[in-house]
Amino acid sequence: MPFFKFLFICFTFCWGHESVFAVNVKDFGAKGDGKTDDTGAINAAVVGASDGLVEFPKGTYRITKTIEIDLSNYGKLGLSGRGASASIVMAGEGAAFRFIGSHDKGSALPSSVKIITWDKERMPLIDALEIIGDHVDADGIELRNTFMPTLRALLIRNVRNGIHLSSRNRNVLIDACHVYNNSGIGIFLDQVNIHQFIISDSHISYCKKGGIKVIGSEIRNLQITGNDIEYNCDPEGPISADILVDCSMGGSVREGTISGNTIQAIPSPEGANIRFLGLNGNSDKIGLWSITGNHISNQKVNIHLENTRGISITGNTFIRGYNRHLLINNSSNLIINGNVIDHNEDYFPSQPPAYGGILISNGENIILSDNIIDGS
């Protein structure tokens, strides 16, 4: 038999027997017509997913309650749309999907990982789905006490918070996702304990209360690389930032990178593209960060550092910091080097005026060198 004919037969057999490899939610009664409440059918599919994969064929699946997946009960499990052709409409309060693990005390150290985590809980995978909010308090995905969760190729839009991490998680990957036009926060790290977290190659845009927000958390090794993070503010709403790390009321966030991103916005009251807020009187809680190789533009302040320590800002391009390009207060051990602060007239309307420049107050051990500061 010719080799290509053999491959064709194998492919045809596998395509016609997908249920061998995945549970199809329509086999459990889901209609996917955008009108029927498919909550019960999807829950039944999760319970019946003996092969560990719940698949959503083309359709619009309306749910009214959170699909809660307790991995210790269901075992290793993934959710997948077929070619991104499936949409989940969350018409109730809370997350469309909530993954819960039991990795509540261990670290990323292999010896601290419990047997149940390897056997039942490791690496919950969600991919190729669209999640749409149809309730003012609808969220996208929540992760709680998970180990190695992986989110990829998702479109999450018109919800409140797109991806919400709570409690304790380890080794988190978010890749190639679109988190778009949400009323709250795009990616929300909410009083969470996380080590090893990578957000890469994603669009995080038009989220009214911030793009990536970290509040009251204990975090080490947070990498934000290769993303387009834009317009995450409401010009008439509360203070926001495209990237906000807030330890002003507690927590510590150290060992991080913001690299290779485009970060820009619409000017909003007291808005910032990147804002780090440490603990008043203690600059040790936010530090050991590199902000390098980004384009950062079009906000009241491009980078705002308050009570921080040990940050390198190198090789970025800045434009249109309407009040300041860099605003630094009560911070130490900083290097600001090799940046281009440009005033290309193609980018500057006559109003509002853009003053720009760098303001440093109450700082020490700061090297400011080899930068171009134009038009400030």
Tokens of 106: 């261990």
Among candidate residues 198, 147, 146, the one with its CA nearest the CA of residue 177? 198
Q: What is the pLDDT of residue 97?
A: 98
Res 267: pLDDT: 86
Share of the chain above pLDDT 90, in %: 77
57-373 is classed CATH 3.40.30 = no
Residue 170 pLDDT grade (very low, low, confident, very high; cuts 50, 70, 90): very high
- Closest Cα to residue 77, out of 43, 142, 121? 121
Q: Are residues 285 and 247 in contact, defined by beta-carbon separation less than 8 angstroms?
A: yes
pLDDT exceeds 90 at position 102: no
| pLDDT, tens digit (0-9, with 9 covering 90-100), for 329-358 | 999 999 999 999 998 888 877 777 888 999
Q: What is the pLDDT of residues 54-70, one digit of tens each?
A: 999 999 999 999 999 99
pLDDT recorded at residue 107: 60
User: CA–CA distance from 125 to each of 14, 77, 263, 342 (Å)?
Assistant: 22, 7, 28, 42
pLDDT of residue 11: 43
Percent of the chain with pLDDT over 70: 92
pLDDT at 319: 94
Q: Helices then strands (H, E): number in the chain?
A: 4, 33
First to last CA, the chain: 73
Residue 180 is predicted with a pLDDT of 98
Q: Where are the domains of the chain?
A: 57-373
Q: By 3-state DSSP, what share of the chain in percent is helix, strand and coil, each rounded to 5?
A: 15, 50, 35
CA distance 281 to 367: 22
pLDDT at 108 (0 to 100): 64
Give the sign of the dihedral formed by CA 7, CA 12, CA 15, CA 20: negative
Q: Is the pLDDT of residue 115 over 80?
A: no
Least confident interval from 99-113, 180-194, 229-243, 324-338: 99-113
Alpha-carbon distance of 276 to 99, in angstroms, equals 29
